[in-house]
Amino acid sequence: MNQQYDVIVLGAGAAGLMCAIEAGKRGRRVLVLERADRIGKKILISGGGRCNFTNLHTTPENFLSSNPHFAKSALARYTPADFIRLVEKHGILYHEKKLGQLFCDRAASDITAMLEQECRDAQVEIRCNSKIEAVHNDASGTGLTPSGQFIVQVQTHSDSAEMRFIAPHLVVATGGLSIAKIGATSFGYDLARQFGLNIVSPRPALVPLAFTERDRRRWCDLAGVSCEVTASVAATKKKRASFRENMLFTHQGISGPAILQISSYRDGKQAICLDLAADRDLMAELHAFDHRDQASWKSVVREILPRRFADRWLETYPPAGNSDRAFMDAARQLHEWEINPETTEGYGKAEVTAGGINTDELSAKTMESRKVPGLFFVGEVVDVTGQLGGFNFQWAWASGFCAGQAL
Ligand SMILES: Cc1cc2nc3c(=O)[nH]c(=O)nc-3n(C[C@H](O)[C@H](O)[C@H](O)COP(=O)(O)OP(=O)(O)OC[C@H]3O[C@@H](n4cnc5c(N)ncnc54)[C@H](O)[C@@H]3O)c2cc1C
């Protein structure tokens, strides 16, 4: 039997639920189909279980996309203040951790409970355990016409029964490829290809970096050691991306906020420059010693870096003598440590997927496909990727909201 709706949303994550709520509030009959056994699994594990649900300082510059202007309209129409109002309406307690990052005081489940309640209030129907078998635009599955209906064929996990749902509007909110074990699939990209839409090649972003074998042997027994750095990389021919945050050694290479941020801007080949002594004038510090020698240099380095890292650094990069020149070179090395990670730790560890549905294919106002009327893409599946710090959820809420207003 075919069941008719006004809107079918594929994926009950942040973007899909926000879109469903807004469309439901506008009186649309909305069905959300979710493959997993519950909604918002990624929300539940986000922000270390506390969900960094937005960032007070959100601007379009916090996002990466082939078209840097695309996100502007949606981010302006649905702001962090709008989401904070929703959170406060539900009495959810939250705090700013740092740099405008807002987290739940209690647990991320406060956010999923809030979204679930909003869905109930807007009479949105949610069906979990729904594996989508196929999507067609009409009964025969041939080319789409503006007046066409989308037919979604679904297999329910519970009884393996096959069901068909029909609607004139289909919203794809199935996220990216990050963390397959909690339900990430390539479904959104596959569907876009099925309808002839272009995709910017997906790649892991906000992801730890893995060293070459040689660097692993040299540094990775320091796993667990962290320090503040300024990490930078040539983001474009003209512009360097730069982040001052913590870096952490891991068993594979390096991670920590500074490295996750910079990973999104690296095409896999450029060297990363780490300033391990940002804002410090090392030569001046050295001049404060009566004698400039290896011992005074050791004191300076030990004051800047954690002890084990400092000692490894001194073994690896000893000054070539006691001349000013030698110390200047040693200081430069500390300010400009160039590293060339071999690869990333992949989608299994990536917080997001960069790339996705090419924004040229979509209306920036509604997220609707330009080629296929009635077909919408929202959230991470679109080629808009936020920096670390609550920006990815803000994009999910904003893009979901804009599509919901257009349905
Ligand atoms: C460990 C971790 C921590 C994070 N922490 C933060 C944070 O604190 N702040 C922040 O801003 N961002 C964070 N992110 C990123 C953020 O979670 C995502 O950017 C955001 O959830 C994207 O929302 P979405 O709705 O587009 O996709 P998702 O949340 O991925 O939702 C997609 C949904 O679609 C479902 N689905 C997939 N395929 C199908 C299919 N074929 N049929 C039906 N359903 C399907 C999935 O099961 C999922 O429920 C984190 C990510 C990870 C992995």
52-55 and 162-167: which strand pairing? Answer: unpaired
- Kindly report the protein residue whose alpha carbon is nearest to atom 26 of ligand 1: 379
How many angstroms separate the alpha carbon of residue 308 from the centre of ligand 1?
Answer: 37
Q: Is 36 near ligand 1, meaning CB less than 6 Å away? A: yes
Residue 77's pLDDT is what?
98
Q: Structure pTM?
A: 0.95
Residue 242: the pLDDT is 96
393 Cβ inside 6 Å of ligand 1? yes
pLDDT, position 141: 47
Contact 282, 300 (CB under 8 A): yes
| CA 350 to ligand 1: nearest atom | 53
Domain residue ranges in the chain: 2-202+351-406, 209-344
Q: Who's near 360: CB < 8 A, 6+ residues apart?
A: 66, 67, 198, 370
C-alpha angle with apex 195: 191 to 201, nearest 5 degrees?
60
> Looking at residue 145, what is its pLDDT?
42
**Per-residue pLDDT, 284:** 84
CATH classification for the domain delimited by 2-202+351-406, as one of 1.10.10.60, 3.40.50.300, 3.40.50.2300, 3.50.50.60: 3.50.50.60
> Taking Cα atoms as reference points, which of 120, 145, 175 lies closest to residue 374?
145
What is the number of other CB atoms lying within 10 angstroms of the CB of residue 44? 16
Q: Is residue 185 in contact with ligand 1, taking CB distance under 6 Å?
A: yes
Answer yes or no: are the C-beta atoms of 83 and 100 closer than 8 Å: no
Residue 183: CB within 6 Å of ligand 1? yes
Give residue 137's pLDDT.
82
Best substitution site from 42, 95, 388, 397 to test ligand 1's pocket, by max atoms within 8 Å of Cβ? 42
Tokens 């410090």, residue located: 280
341 ligand 1 Cβ < 6 A: no
What are the contacts of 253-256 at 24+ separation with CB within 8 A? 253/208, 253/209, 253/210, 253/211, 253/215, 253/216, 253/219, 253/220, 253/341, 253/342, 253/345, 254/208, 254/209, 254/211, 254/339, 254/341, 255/208, 255/209, 255/345, 256/226
CB of 13 within 6 A of ligand 1: the answer is yes
How confident is the model at residue 146, as a pLDDT? 39
The CATH architecture that domain 209-344 belongs to is Beta Barrel (2.40)
CA 96 to centroid of chain Cα atoms: 19
The rounded Å distance from CA 225 to ligand 1 centre is: 29
- One pLDDT digit (tens) per residue for the chain, 407 residues: 689 999 999 999 999 999 999 999 999 999 999 999 999 999 999 999 999 999 999 999 999 999 999 999 999 999 999 999 999 999 999 999 999 999 999 999 999 999 999 999 999 999 999 999 999 986 444 544 435 899 999 988 766 778 999 999 999 999 999 998 888 999 999 999 999 999 999 999 999 999 999 999 999 999 999 999 999 999 887 889 999 999 999 999 999 999 999 999 998 888 999 999 998 988 888 887 777 889 999 999 999 999 999 999 999 999 999 898 999 999 999 999 999 999 999 999 999 999 999 999 999 999 999 999 999 999 999 999 999 999 999 999 999 999 999 99
Distance between Cα 277 and ligand 1 center (Å): 36
Closest CA to 203 of 338, 341, 351, 63: 351
pLDDT at 138: 63
pLDDT score of 288? 79
Contact assessment for residue 395 and residue 173, using Cβ atoms and an 8 Å cutoff:
no
Structure tokens at 190: 């596959």
CA of 178 to the centre of ligand 1 (A): 8
Q: Ligand 1 in contact with 144 (CB < 6 A)?
A: no
State which ligand 1 atom lies nearest to the alpha carbon of 394. Answer: 11
Helix (H, G, I), strand (E, B) or coil at 127: strand
Question: Is residue 225 in contact with ligand 1, taking CB distance under 6 Å?
Answer: no
The alpha carbons of the chain give a radius of gyration, in whole angstroms, of: 25
**DSSP tag of 271:** P
